[in-house]
Structures are given as C-alpha cells and as structure tokens.
Amino acid sequence: MMKQLCRLMTAMLPVLACLALMAGTTEGLAQEVGVPAASAPVAAAPEAPAAAVPAPPKIDTGDTTWVLVSTALVLAMTAPGLALFYGGMVRGKNALGTIMQSFIILCLISVQWVLWGYSLAFGPDKGHVIGGLEWLGLNGVGLEPNADYAATIPHQAFMIFQMMFAVITPALITGAFAERMKFSSFLVFTLLWSTLIYDPLAHWVWAVGGWVRNMGALDFAGGTVVHISSGASALACAIVLRKRLGYGKEHMMPHNLPMTVLGASLLWFGWFGFNAGSAVASGALATSAFVVTHVATATAALAWMAVEWIYRGKPTVLGAASGAVAGLVAITPASGFVGPMPAVIIGLVAGVVCYLAVLWKAKCGYDDALDVVGIHGVGGIWGALATGLFASKAINAAGADGLFYGNPAQFGIQAMTVLISVGFAFVGTFVILKLVGTMMPLCVKEEEERMGLDLSQHDERAYS
Amino acid sequence: MTDPNNERDCTSRHVGCHRMVALTIAAVMLGALVLGAGSVVIAQDSSAIAGGAAPVLKVDTGDTAWVLMSSALVLAMTMPGLALFYGGLVRSKNILGTIMHSLIILCLVSLIWIFFGYSLAFGPDKGGLIGGLDWIGLSGVGSDPHPVYGPTIPHQVFMLFQLMFAAITPALITGAFAERMRFSALLLFAALWSVVIYAPVAHWIWGGGWLGKMGALDFAGGAVVHISSGVSALVCAIVLGKRKGYGTDYMAPHNLPFTLLGTGLLWFGWFGFNAGSALGANGLAGSAFLATHAAGATGALVWMCTEWMHRGKPTVLGVASGAVAGLATVTPGAGYVGPMSAIAIGAFAGVLCYFAVVWKGRMGYDDSLDVVGIHGVGGVFGILATGLFASKAVNAAGADGLFYGNAAQLGIQAVMVVAVAAFSVVGTWLILKVVDASVGLRVSPEDESTGLDLSQHDERAYS
C-alpha cells in the first residue's frame, strides 16, 4: 500500500514538471523571439527614446564576468563542496546516499527555479508576500539588465546566480536527516520546501516590494534566506523524523574525514562567489565582501579550535573545518555591510557560539545528524543580529548603520527578521513533513537503514 | 600497536604545554577582539576618507573580477590543493595532521596578515628593509586603488591576493617535517616564520625594498614563495631529524589519487597565482597564463621521461611532481618570458628537480615530501632562468635577460637567490631553536608511532 503510494508520488514528479514545462514553453516561445530583438542594437535604438529619462542600463563585461564566475563558484559549493562535506561525515554505507541528495537537489531545484521558482521569488510583487507568475518559464527574463536587481548584468545572469542559492539551501537541510530519509520522500519534501518556504522567504527579504525588505532588514548574501531558513527547517526535520537506529549507543564516526575537509575547503572557495558575488558587480563592494568573508572564516576556525582545545584537550580537524563553515555562515548576511575588524569579532563569536550549540545538541536529544542547526541555524541567527550591530554606511552607503554606529533601530529590525524567518521556516517545514508523512513514509525501513542508504536506495556501493 | 597506557601518559605529560598554546591563541584572539573593537571606527573612517579624497585612479570592473577570482584560486591551492597533495603522500595515520597543517596555517596567517603582516610587507618603505606600521589593522587600505599595487583594482583586492601568497608559503614548508612535528610547535613556527621571514622577503622584492630597487625580477614569487619555503624546508628537515624508521620502514604514500586531486587543484589554482599576478585582465595575464600552463605540462612530461629512462617505469607520482616542479619553476618568469622559453624552463625543471629528489636519498636528511627538491631547486633555477629568458618584448615593464643581451640581469637574479636563501637559512634556524626551547619541536616517539591524527587531534581519518 505504502509502496504504491510512494511510487505514485515519485511518478508524479516528472508529470508535474512536464505540465509546467508545457506551460513554460508556450510563453518561452514568445521570449525567444523577444530576446534577440531586445539585444540587437538596431532594435534597441528606437526603444531608447520611449524609455524613461535615465540612460538605458548597459551591460558591463567586468561585472558580468564576476557574476558568472560567482555563479559557478556557488555551484561548486553544492556539488562537490557540500556533497563531500556531508558525504565524509556519514558512515561508509551511506556515503553515496548523502552525496546523491545534494547532487539531485542541484538538478531538481534548477529546473524548478527556471519553471516557476524564480518568478515566485523575484517576479513582480503581489501584496508584498510573493512574486507573480509573470516570469513563469523565464518569460520576460532575457539578456537585458533588470535595473531593480542588477543594472549592469543581463537579467538572466542575476537569475542563474540566484538559482544557485535556491539550490544550496535545501541541500544544507539534508544534513539533519542524513542516513535515514527515504529517497522518494526526500524528493517530494525538497520540491515542496523550495516552493513553499524558500521562494516566499526570498521574496520577502530580497525582492522589490517584499515586506521584510520594506521593513529595512539587511541580509547581504542570505543569512536569513539561506542559513536561518535551512537551520530552522533542519531542526523541524530532526524532530519530526525518528532518530537514527542506535543513535547515542553506537559509534557513528565520520567514515572519511579528508573528504569532509575537501568539502569544507570547496565550500570556503565557493563562498567567495556566494558573498562577494552578491554585490552583483565587480568593484569596491565585492572586494569588501570578499575580504570580510575570508577574515571571519579564518577567525572562526581558530576560535573553534582554541575553545575545543581548552575544553576537550585536543584540537580536532573536524572542529577546525566546522569552525570555518560557522564563520562563513555568520558573515554571510553582514558581508556587504561591515569592515574587516568587525568581521574578526563576528567570526570569533561564531566559532565559540556554534561550538557550544553543537555540544548542547547532545543534551537536547534530537538527532541533527550533521549539525545543521548548530552551525547554520545558530550561526545564521548570530550573523543576522551581528549585522544589526556592526553594519556601517561607510562600507556600503546603500545599507544602514547598526547599533554600534548609533542606530539601535536596525538591531530591532534584524531581531524581527530572525523571529519571522525562524517561525516561518520551522512551522512551514513541520507542516510539509506531516503532509508528506501522511502520503508516504519519511524514513527508510529499519532493515534498509541497517543495510545503508547506498544499497537500499540506490543499489550501489561507494567503495569496493 | 602502541600501549594505550603509554599513550595516555604521554598525553598527560604534554597536555599542559598544549593547553598553554591553546590558551595563548585564545588570549591573542581576545586581544584581537579589543583591538578590533577599537579600530573599527578608525579603519572604517580612514577608508571613508580615502573614498572621498583621491578620485584619480579608477577601478576597472574586469581587472577587479580577475584578481578577485585569482585570490579564490590561490586559496584553493592551499586548501584543498596542497592539503590533499601532501595528505595523500603521508601514511594514513598522519593524513589529518598533515591536512590540519595547511588548514590552520591558512587561518593563522590570514589574521596575522590583516593585523600587521601586510603593513610589514607592503607598507611605506623603511630603509629598503621592511614596511612601516602605517597600515596596521588595514588602516588606510581601503577601496581606492594604490598607484603602484594595482592602479585599476581596489587596494584591498591587492592586499587579499597577497594574503593568499603569504598563507601558502609556510604551508609549503610543512612537507619537510611531515609526520613528526608537534601541533603546538607548528602554530608557533608558522606565526613566527611568516612575520620574521616572509614579510621582510616580500618587502625586499615586491614592497619597494632593496632587491626590487636593484631591478630583481620575480613575477609571482619564485624567490618570495619557493626559494624561501624550499630553503627553510631544508633547515627544518635537518634540525628536526629523520622520522622514526626512515630508510628502514615502508613509508609509501597511502592515497595517491588524493595526491593527484591535490596536484590538479594546484595546477588549477596556479593560474590565479601567476596570471593573477598581472593584477589585471590583460595581455600580460594571458601571456603568464600560457607560460604557466606550458611549463607545467612540459615539467610533467620531462620528469616522466627521465624517470622512465632512469628507473624503468613512469610513475603517476612522478608526473604529478613534475607538473608541480614545472609550475614552481616558471613562477618567477611567468610574466617575463614567452611560451617557447617557458617550455625550456619546464623541461629543465623536470630534469633538475627529479635528480634533486633522487640525490636527497644519498644525503640522508628526511625532507619527507620533497619540498627542497621541488620548491627549493625549482625556485632557484626559476629565478636564474628569468635572468636568462626574460624579454622586454613580452613585458615592457620587465628587463631583458642574458639571452636577450643583458648579462647584468643574471647577476642581479643571482644576488637575489643568495640573499633570500641565506636569510631563510639563518632565520628559520633561529626560529626553530626558539620553538624547540619553548614547546618542543617533535612529538614523542610513542606519539609518532601512534600517528599525528590520534596523538595530536584525537581523531581517525577513516573508519
């Protein structure tokens, strides 16, 4: 019975996609005609007088190069970065299952984003809560810049850069339910989560007209949209899904730590695209974001190592790698608004606080297998609040001053943003999981879990 | 297997000293917190003022994008590139310890660089020897271009790009004392080395110091990065002594695919290292990119052929080492030589470095992962080759070498080799003595048998 339902659901995925694709292509046709016409200089010329008084946006090759490269860097964060980071931390029998989750999310959400995700998140605002369906199937998202989002790069460059963010966010959550979630349920969950949680949240915080953005919230590269949302959702997942068999009794050591360090390094490498690319241009702001990203990361890794050394007696490699990721997470929302010295402080606190959060997890009893809550949730919250403390208009005139620069109101706004995103992501994920749970089992059967996801879900072995 | 009691004894004996280092790090970071909090306003104010004052130099978006990307590429050389290159070459009980060296040096040197390293290396010149402290805490290093250090990119981009160089150089040395250095000693050594050796050498050649004024040519760090690390590696190998069982036990690399992955990432990142050193997306960057690739490919092929003839089989490790040798050797000349010269440089690198590594076996010092043979010998030859092959036709801002009618250039390059090598030998030797006296350089023999992963970090790489 369950099996049939489950098969039905999985079969529905491509059907759903095809339906949407058909809807998309009809509109896409119009766009294909529109794009060359718009980009051809001859056709653009008569349009110019009709346009508003400011000169029509012009594509800058340097800016476009930087955003395209940044897009590729963020892709490298999901696969192979995150896939190997998580893949090394699970047991050998689950390595492929864990890698597969990141890899298939990359594929699934890329298609979702093109078909309807981008339109829901960044499309013309509807009542400050969601984007309209005008940009379905990338209709109207062409090669001309969209001055609302990035005036010097093609609109499609902005779209694909944002796509990589939409991809990595659900992939981050997979660490919470590692080693036990059923592959088909996971696919359905991911598709629903992206559409119902990520797309609205991205609209609220980043899109023109979004209500959180209108409130004056600062989130440069996704502290709330990416990290708080994935961290809070990870908590919901860890609570709703049962613990792994033998959790707390058996040894569940990472099976390949060098692989995890490789993943962490690629995350670091890709994060430069994530944060500095979020300037959506090449220049002073991108530089500043790049510098503070690196500084906060280095500091957080050292801080985690030092705390662990003092507290436990040995500095571990997994600790240094986790500290680096915690620093990257925490600096994300602040990266375009703070200078290098505040970045040191943000990294320092992130290393200590996230370390304590991971320790504290053990006392709470939920099985957040790869510490998504402790690192992305807690780190994201700290980063969002820290932005309200350290932001400075001297760094980014388009931003705002924080508490330490005489504007306590900004801290209040950031705290509100945290509450909104935690509440929305946690409750929304809880409901989605319950919904999926009524249709199909969320976890694999016990004997399948013992066998490992690689064999039970994918019929392969990672090593032989 | 070691006796667990033994291991515990050993741990408790050293735990005081280990924790002392941890506490020191914590204290330094708290100090940084205070310093940071204090200089928040200053640093930002100064960048704001700079923002208003000098509008002469204009930031170019393409140049900035390229140097930002190059900085990320050079980061990838250290982590994960070098970490995996070295990590695969050690025995499996030491892989995490080896990776941790690169990882933590990257973090530590990044902070040192921001707080005062950059100022010492590139700050306003003091007597040709060292930079002043004017740029401490990046004060005055803002978003406006510096007239000398990349006139079309924000000054902070140049600082950041140089930061990645400062981080990889001490990480290269770690191959010389792999599998036996105590972790706390490594931290202390790396911090001291980057301040006492790297910053002055970088200043002499790139920061307006005496070698630069003399006309020494080092495009992307043949002397600053490779000679300094290679020569220091030799001193480390001699002072630390051999690994337990060196020459008698089997010490084959435990995971060569990791090493090859590391090699690939080094090669990939080296395009940022060399072509990024043009500080712009221009013809010079293109030329340096090509020279880098040509020398890397030639180095790999020539090493393979030499080994095939000399030993009977072409090894995969040999090809990887040859590529790194070619890349290291072309580094100083990358922006001054044409593609044919680069091929000649790569070919010599493949042969010379191969024999340097073979010859190591006879000398009896334990340079575990061949830093001396590849970076030292490659760096020295690369600097001299720049004095032979450099041509103003490739880079008008450079000079002609011996083969283009300017014999003096080779003399200047030789002076640079001697100066940097001598300074590195003496400085590294002193630093090692200081570290040995304070925390002790080597792990205990029991810890060495257990492996660094368990003894230093209490974890296993594979389970």
Mind listing the pLDDT tens digit for each residue in A179-200?
Answer: 999 999 999 999 999 999 999 9
CB atoms within 10 A of CB A44: 14
Mean pLDDT score, B196-213: 97
What residues contact residue B252 under an 8 Å CB cut-off, 6+ apart? B91
**Nearest beta carbon to residue B459 from set A62, A317, A341:** A317
How is residue A368 written in tokens? 């957040």
Separation of alpha carbons A313 and A245, rounded Å: 30
Per-residue pLDDT band for A20 (boundaries 50, 70, 90) equals very low
Separation of alpha carbons B40 and B47, rounded Å: 11
Name which of A60, A73, A261 to mutate to probe chain B: the one with the most chain B Cβ atoms within 10 A of its Cβ: A261
Name which of A75, A344, A353 to mutate to probe chain B: the one with the most chain B Cβ atoms within 10 A of its Cβ: A344
CA distance B299 to chain A (A): 26
Q: At what angle do helices B256-275 and B316-330 cross, to 10 degrees?
A: 20
User: DSSP assignment, residue A57?
Assistant: P
Q: For A297, which residue in chain B has the nearest alpha carbon?
A: B107
Separation of alpha carbons B181 and B442, rounded Å: 5
CB pairs under 8 A between A and B: 227
CA distance A139 to chain B (A): 29
Residues of A with CB below 8 A from B29's CB?
A: 299, 302-303, 306, 348
Residue with tokens 């080094």: B266
Mean pLDDT score, B178-202: 97
Give the residue among A381, A438, A425 at the shortest CA–CA distance from A173: A425
3-state SS, residue B335:
coil
Mark yes or no for CB contact A291/B160 under 8 Å: yes
How is residue B252 written in tokens? 């084959």
Q: For B76, which residue in chain A has the nearest alpha carbon?
A: A269
Give the residue among B326, B114, B86, B230 at the shortest CA–CA distance from A347: B114
**Nearest beta carbon to residue B460 from set A62, A253, A312:** A253
What pLDDT, on a 0 to 100 scale, did the predictor assign at position B26? 63
SS (H, E, C) B241-290: CCCCCCCCCCCCCCCHHHHHHHHHHHHHHHHHHHHHHHCCCCHHHHHHHH
A459 dihedral zone (left: phi>0; alpha: psi -120 to 50; beta): left
Contact status, residue A440 vs residue A188, Cβ threshold 8 Å: yes
Residue B410 has pLDDT above 60, yes or no: yes
Q: How far is CA B421 from CA A103, A188, B230, B231, B233, in A?
A: 48, 62, 9, 6, 11
Please name every residue paired with B131 in a beta bridge, in sequence order, or none if there are none.
B125
Return the minimum-mean-pLDDT range out of A18-22, A261-265, B412-416: A18-22
Separation of alpha carbons A154 and B178, rounded Å: 49
Residue A35 has pLDDT above 80, yes or no: no
Mark yes or no for CB contact A283/B61 under 8 Å: yes
**Nearest beta carbon to residue B64 from set A62, A73, A253:** A62
Contact status, residue A415 vs residue A400, Cβ threshold 8 Å: no
Backbone phi and psi for residue B178, each to the nearest 5 degrees, phi listed first: -60, 150
Write the ipTM.
0.90
Residues of B with CB below 8 A from A306's CB?
A: 22-23, 25-26, 29
Residue A315 has pLDDT above 80, yes or no: yes
Rounded to two decimals, the pTM is 0.90
Residue B39 has pLDDT above 60, yes or no: no
Separation of alpha carbons B68 and A287, rounded Å: 7
Residues of A with CB below 8 A from B11's CB?
A: 313
Name which of A63, A317, A318 to mutate to probe chain B: the one with the most chain B Cβ atoms within 10 A of its Cβ: A317
Name which of A82, A161, A265, A312 to mutate to probe chain B: the one with the most chain B Cβ atoms within 10 A of its Cβ: A265
Residue with tokens 């000054």: B155
Residue bearing the bigger pLDDT, B175 or A56: B175
**Nearest beta carbon to residue B68 from set A60, A66, A307:** A66
Q: Which tens digit of pLDDT belongs to each residue from A128-165? A: 999 999 999 999 999 999 999 999 999 999 999 999 99
Mean pLDDT score, A420-439: 98
Mark yes or no for CB contact B461/A339 under 8 Å: no
CB atoms within 10 A of CB B381: 25
Residue A50 has pLDDT above 70, yes or no: no
**Nearest beta carbon to residue A294 from set B35, B66, B160:** B160
Mean pLDDT score, A364-369: 92
Per-residue pLDDT band for B49 (boundaries 50, 70, 90) equals very low
Average pLDDT score, chain A: 90
What pLDDT, on a 0 to 100 scale, did the predictor assign at position B28? 62
Per-residue pLDDT band for B211 (boundaries 50, 70, 90) equals very high
Residues of A with CB below 8 A from B285's CB?
A: none
What residues contact residue B343 under an 8 Å CB cut-off, 6+ apart? B294, B295, B298
In chain B, the domains with their CATH numbers are 4-457 (1.10.3430.10)
Separation of alpha carbons B194 and B424, rounded Å: 11
Separation of alpha carbons B295 and B275, rounded Å: 13
**Nearest beta carbon to residue B110 from set A295, A313, A339:** A295
Backbone phi and psi for residue A463, each to the nearest 5 degrees, phi listed first: -130, 140
In chain A, the domains with their CATH numbers are 13-451 (1.10.3430.10)
What pLDDT, on a 0 to 100 scale, did the predictor assign at position A46? 40
Mark yes or no for CB contact B160/A287 under 8 Å: yes
What residues contact residue A68 under an 8 Å CB cut-off, 6+ apart? A157
Residues of A with CB below 8 A from B453's CB?
A: 317
**Nearest beta carbon to residue B143 from set A281, A284, A302:** A284
Q: Which tens digit of pLDDT belongs to each residue from A337-363? A: 999 999 999 999 999 999 999 999 888
Alpha helices, DSSP H only, in A51-117?
61-76, 83-89, 95-112
CA distance B160 to chain A (A): 7
What pLDDT, on a 0 to 100 scale, did the predictor assign at position B415? 97
What pLDDT, on a 0 to 100 scale, did the predictor assign at position A248? 87
Give the residue among B150, B331, B368, B123 at the shortest CA–CA distance from B225: B331
Mark yes or no for CB contact B44/A303 under 8 Å: no
Q: Which tens digit of pLDDT belongs to each residue from A250-260? A: 889 999 999 99
Residues of B with CB below 8 A from A66's CB?
A: 61, 64-65, 68-69
Mark yes or no for CB contact B138/A62 under 8 Å: no
Mark yes or no for CB contact B183/A315 under 8 Å: yes
What pLDDT, on a 0 to 100 scale, did the predictor assign at position A57? 72
Alpha helices, DSSP H only, in B142-196?
155-173, 183-193
**The one-letter amino acid at A306:** A
